[in-house]
Structure 1
Amino acid sequence: MTDTYADLLACEDVLRFANAAISGTGQREFLGGPGEQLLTLDFLHSYVRVNHRDLYAAVLALDVNDHNAARIVHGLLSEPAGPGAAALPEEGALIARRLADLPPQRAYRLFRRLAADRVNNRRTRAVIAQWLRNRPDLAFDAVKYRAGLTAAARHAHLRLPGEVADFCFTSARRTRPFATPILETYRAAHYSVEAAYGLPLTVAEGFAARHGVPRDRFLARARASATSGELLRMDRAMRERGLSTGYDLARAGLTRLCSYVLALPIREREERRAELTAALRASARRTAGAHAGSWGPTAAVLDDSYSSFGSPVKRNRPLAVALACHFLMAELSTRYTAHWLSGRTDALTVRPLGNSPLAERILDALDTRPERLVIVSDGHDDCPPVPAALLDAWRTRIDPGRATSAVHLNPVVDAEELGTAPIAASVPTVGVRDAAALPSLVELARFGEGASGLADLRAHLDRRVAAYIAAPAAGASRPR
């Protein structure tokens, strides 16, 4: 390896930023408020954008969450590359590709922020125009995201087509009918509750309340216009009213499905054990895809201690990630054993409770002699030096040949650590927010072991960027 000390530091900086961008959302965590995390993210974004602009853009091809993807796009558009800053040649294509993957409400929120910050250069206007041209149905967007579409068009100096422009920039409540069906449905919904059922759910809810429609009747009728994500959110409310959404839980994303399961009372989970287990396994099989069975014997240490509750704004999110990783690793591995910190063996009924005996569970996992050890935890232990000393001693004295690979997946950003808190220096730590990214995160973790330097990281990011730009956008398949 020919990397200089400066290169190694740059590699560490980029990995630290990538980990924070994967798991951090600027929200309250179990041990930290939103202010501290926002300051950490602000610093990391600014530092990496100024000092490693090409790598900053390339991180868009990794599994960073939507919050930080939008921030990266904002940073690239608002601050053009300076004379001494290297810019990724594919930066424009990467921005367009990532915007296509963002949920529409996230993209419109980004455009409104660009307008508020007076970022109105030619490149920004071109990016907004291209994104709007690629939208499948601007009339639908005008109804569901009217304020965002109006702000984006006004900021980019765009002329919207026909009745969409009339709807956005003049009064939507008019007596003269629209020729566009969804716009006419919106106009009619001001006078008829029946018309409201033909609108997107979030819009229809406002009209239903305005017309005084009972919640039970509205939910029973609104199922047809709800997206898959909305059906999952409505499922429990409808069950309490004796209704069924008719939604197949197995179609939900694995981590989102785990959040849904953890929100259910333990008794209901047990009553619906067969249904929920089948849905979780089916979702995990779909998520694993071509990677199914590609891992050798794997042992996982999974955090279900009290801190896995997260916070009131991210309720059970760390535990949901651990549960999703559990079901996914069962599909990825030829032999799999799970070791929950609480000692429980029933994954379906896990809950955030108790202390964090990481060292004990790590020993239990290593006793199975796995090829791969995966630790999913926020990294906070009852006695922090113990698991660190244990893992360091295991790596240097018992397994110096690395017969067992090890990785720590951390779903929480620690503001004091300026990133994700590690467990031990000998085990690389990677941020995680969605279990679907598990195979690629494990691949990224090897750069945190110190055996690979900046050149290898650049080569890895170049491959990821090329593959990401060439792949079809997932935005079209997202619920609107």
Structure 2
Amino acid sequence: METHEDLIAADDVLLFVNAAITATGQREFHSGGAEQHLSLEFLHAYLLGNYRELYAATLALDINDHNAALIVRNLLTTAAEATAEQRRTEGRLIARRLALLPPQRVYRLFAALRRARVNNRRTRAIMRDWLAARPDPALDAVKYRSGLKGALKHAHLPPPHQELGPFLFRAKQPASYREPLLDAWRRAHFEQAAIYELPFTVAEGFAAKHGIARGAFLERIAPNLTRLERLRLQGSARALGAAAVSAELDRMPLTRLASYVLGLPLEERTARRAELTGALTAAAERTAGPLRGSWGRVAAVLDDSFSSYGSGQKRRRPLAAALASHHLLAALATEYRAHWTSGRTDALLLHPSGPTPLGLRILDALDAAPDRLLIVSDGWDNAPPGLAAEVLRIWRTRLDPHGRTAVVHLNPVYDAEDFDVRRLAPGVPTAGLRDAEDLPALVELARFAEGRTGLPELRAHLADRVAAFLTDGNPA
């Protein structure tokens, strides 16, 4: 029989998962960066101290990279407190998660472990194995030089390539290197042509040193740009006349593509309507995969109020999550209708503005009694305040007591004051949302927040996700 403590534990874990999905320690619309950071650090310490196994298992879920790195750091820092079985499982989870993290974040994690003087045997083994699996040590040496150098010193490891020793650790460089990338870095100090053989982030510094015009530099370095660098630099390159820098929209992840679209001026969005809408639709269909068209009649209430701007650090992030979710839900549904809080109907021309009349939009959405109602909002219902909660309460208790319409609230914003994402109503499951790509899995996870299932079911769910994460190598 499930105890009161089990229900509390399940609630604690779900609260942490919501935070680990949405919070990055950065400023949000309603709270500052310091509040976010302190709130998040407390949650990590609390879950690690009380539910270590479940804390480690969240590495297999849809948590963001910031929190994944924090979990890895905390597990390695407190390795002495784990049992032998826990250390084995944690080691596998950590290794798999590090393989999925961007390399720059992993090198920052290693630097944090070095500053904290965490140098136990397991930490050194994890660093050794991750470095050994890197596909191009020379690229890491050039692009992440200080990170690689610090990691090798901290773990007492030899350089993975014969020429990397002199490159990283000798003040006086050799006259030449056999490795082309290392030699291009050496020549770039005095030869402009060598700059264009380097990765963009490295070449950029050399271009500034040689006084190369930004437009000319961007046009010549274009073949070396990564997909995300192309997306980020397309606007500035076009303004400088470097037309060779073009974003490959057909390969962009859905939420990142939505952020890109929202960053364009309205006039440009209008002029490129067919291209941008087609790219968003195609990305949503790729994301939906085999679930395409399987969700029945879906209605969505989507927040494009002024608070969806986010903050200077996370510009338009909540609105991007809503726009991406809009396109994904259209792909998942057999019949779909969107209700934006502003009342707009042209999703391509969205911009953050106005109050948040969630209650009114939920009434509109429920009028057709859909199979599913998805609400994507930060939960600050203010026009009038509290109407959304009352509408949902009456709908669930009086009009639809048997739950014919499944209602789920997905919140892209962490509320530092409440250590959770803001909820709309007690009877409506709420899950944190960062990337719309994770929406189907989060809707499944949200059922645990309804209070109908407890710790045993949650443990079983996490065990299944961990097994899939470690066996198939696919993050949840």
When normalised by structure 2's length, the TM-score is: 0.97
Partner of 2:326: 326
AA aligned opposite 2:331 = E
Residues 8, 473 of structure 1: alpha-carbon distance in 2 compared, 3 angstrom cutoff = closer
Structure 1 residues 29-108: aligned runs within 5 Å: 29-80=28-79, 82=81, 87=86, 90-108=89-107
Instruction: Report the Cα offset of residue 64 of structure 1.
Output: 0.2
Question: How far is 1:81 from its partner?
Answer: 5.7
Distance 2:275 2:12 in 1: 45
Pairwise mapping of residues 125-140 of structure 1 onto structure 2 (< 5 A)? 125-140=124-139
Partner of residue 466, structure 1:
467
Q: Which amino acid aligns with 1:445?
A: A
Q: Does structure 1 residue 341 correspond to structure 2 residue 341?
A: yes
The CA deviation string for residues 119-140 of structure 1, in whole angstroms up to 9 with x for no partner, is 1110100000010011001110
- Give unpaired runs (5+ residues) of structure 1: 475-480
Aligned-pair CA distance for 1:73:
0.3
In the alignment, structure 1 residue 179 sits paired with structure 2 residue 178: yes
> How far apart in 1 are the matches of 2:80 and 2:340?
47
Which secondary structure state, in structure 2, belongs to the residue aligned with residue 417 of structure 1? coil
Does the 8 A contact of 1:74 with 1:110 survive in 2? yes
Contact 2:231 2:248 in 1 (8 A): no
Distance 1:362 1:85, change over 3 A: farther
| Aligned residue number for residue 191 of structure 2 | 192
Could you tell me how far apart the structure 1 residues matched to 2:438 and 2:80 are? 30
- Partner of 1:268 in structure 2? 268
Equivalent pair of 1:52/1:86 in contact (CA under 8 Å): no
CA contact (8 A) 1:21 1:64 kept: yes
1:187 positional shift? 0.5
Describe the superposition over 1:74-118 as per-residue Cα deviations: whole angstroms up to 9, x where unpaired: 011000263799837522111100000000000000000000011
After superposition, the Cα gap between the structure-2 partners of 1:394 and 1:81, relative to the gap in structure 1 and judged at 3 Å, is farther
Deviations 1:248-280 (A, max 9, x none): 212111111111111111111101111111111
Measure, in 2, the Cα distance between the counterparts of 1:247 and 1:303. Answer: 27
In structure 1, what is the Cα distance between the partners aligned to 2:170 and 2:249?
41
Could you list the per-position Cα deviations for residues 220-257 of structure 1 after superposition, in whole angstroms to 9, with x for gaps in the alignment?
10111000000111111122233142432121111111
Q: Which residue of 2 aligns with 1:412?
A: 413
- Residue type at the aligned position of 1:43: F
Q: In the alignment, residue 235 of structure 2 is paired with which amino acid?
A: R
Q: Which residue of 2 aligns with 1:230?
A: 229
Find the aligned partners of 1:376 and 1:256 in 2 and give their Cα distance: 17
Supply the AA of the counterpart residue of 2:440.
P
Question: Offset of 1:400 from its aligned partner?
Answer: 1.0
Deviation, 1:464, is 0.3
The answer to whether the 8 A contact 1:54-1:88 is kept is no
> Which segment drifts farther, 81-90 or 458-467?
81-90
Match of 2:390, as an amino acid? A
Match of residue 114 from structure 1: 113
Q: For 1:104 and 1:338, locate their aligned partners in 2 and report how far apart those are by CA, in whole Å.
A: 38
- How many residues are treated as equivalent by the alignment? 472
Q: Distance in 2 between matches of 1:428 and 1:211?
A: 57
Change in 2 beyond 3 A, CA 1:83/1:347: closer
Match of 2:351 in 1: 351
Moved more, 376-385 or 64-73: 376-385
Match of 1:478 in 2: none
User: Which amino acid is the alignment partner of residue 279 of structure 2?
Assistant: A
Tell whether the 8 Å contact from 2:231 to 2:246 is kept in structure 1 after alignment: no
Q: d(CA) in 2 for partners of 1:81 and 1:362?
A: 51
Give 1:169 shift: 1.2
CA contact (8 A) 1:81 1:87 kept: no
**How many angstroms does 1:294 deviate by?**
2.0
Which residue is equivalent to 2:426?
A: 425
Task: Choose 161-170 or 110-119, whichever is displaced more.
Answer: 161-170
Once the two structures are overlaid, the 10-residue window that deviates more, 280-289 or 74-83, is: 74-83
Question: Contact 1:54 / 1:86 at 8 angstroms: preserved in 2?
Answer: no
Q: Is the 8 A contact 1:284 1:331 kept in 2?
A: yes
Distance 1:83 1:76, change over 3 A: closer
1:470 deviation in Å?
Answer: 1.5
Equivalent residues in 2 for 1:371-450, closer than 5 Å: 371-382=371-382, 383-450=384-451
Change (3 A) 1:83 1:311: closer
Retained in 2: the 8 A contact 1:304–1:319? yes
CA RMSD of aligned residues (A): 1.5
1:477 aligns to what?
Answer: none
Matched to 1:207, the amino acid is F
Q: Provide Cα deviations, 1:44-65, integer angstroms capped at 9, x if missing partner.
A: 1000001000000000110000
